[in-house]
Structure 1
Amino acid sequence: MHRKGWCVLPALVAAWVVMVSGCRPEPEGSVHILGRFEQSASDVTRVSVTLTAADQEPLTLELVKVTSEWSGALERTPADKAYTFTTEGFGADGTKRYAGKATDIYLPSGEAIQVAITLRPFVSQP
């Protein structure tokens, strides 16, 4: 004789553990990034953007050139946070030539936002 009720017990225990532990999926959103140059930037071969927020590891994305603009997207990005976007444009020799920044950009949960950043010539400070 086999009891069918015992087959449900492991599933109930697992559900209870999840409820008690407070495991909830982290809120997510997506970010579409557009990098534009203040002036002609034919010497740029690579553009990267780094997202930083409190209590989170930085996220870095290499943008892709489409006509005269550089773009990229980060899907499933932790949401309900304010981010700083730091963008850098590099020449073929790896030298940083352009930089741009956008601060306090809020990503709401379940939303897709677009961030446009203007890159200006980078002047290194002594």
Structure 2
Amino acid sequence: MSDDLFLQQIKIRESSKFIEQLLSRIDRNESGLKDLLKEEIENLKVLHIEYKKCLEEKKVIYEDRQPCKTRYFLKDGSTYVVDLKGNYKYLYDNKNRSITYHFNNGQIEKTFSNGIKEIRYPDGSVCIKFGEKDYDLYK
């Protein structure tokens, strides 16, 4: 998932929490909630339109099949590659110049354009690498 889609998911979750808070206010009979709900619904509609736009940008426009992998070229200039043996798949995101690998063991590695690498292990731990010997590990 690209960063934009991830951030939009977070925004949608926050909006959902906000609506839950508003509903609890309704239960306590506080005034002006109808206007707040209408405003929040409009915000959600805008987020939904932005989300649809991001999905549209990630549509496949060309497919290149090779003996060991298939490469998909996306509308926004990104490239998605799938290993036909199922060992890995990766996305080169043209927008933020990052590469994200997904391995069949559940490990996810994301390399940013500045060289920083984020590795998410299947056990939930995260490693941030700043160089060969310089890293932080979070469990």
Smaller-chain TM-score bracket: under 0.3
Which has a greater percent of strand? 1
Structure with larger RCO (C-alpha < 8 A, sep 6+) = 1
User: TM-score w.r.t. structure 2 length?
Assistant: 0.23
- Structure number with larger C-alpha Rg: 1
Which has a greater percent of helix? 2
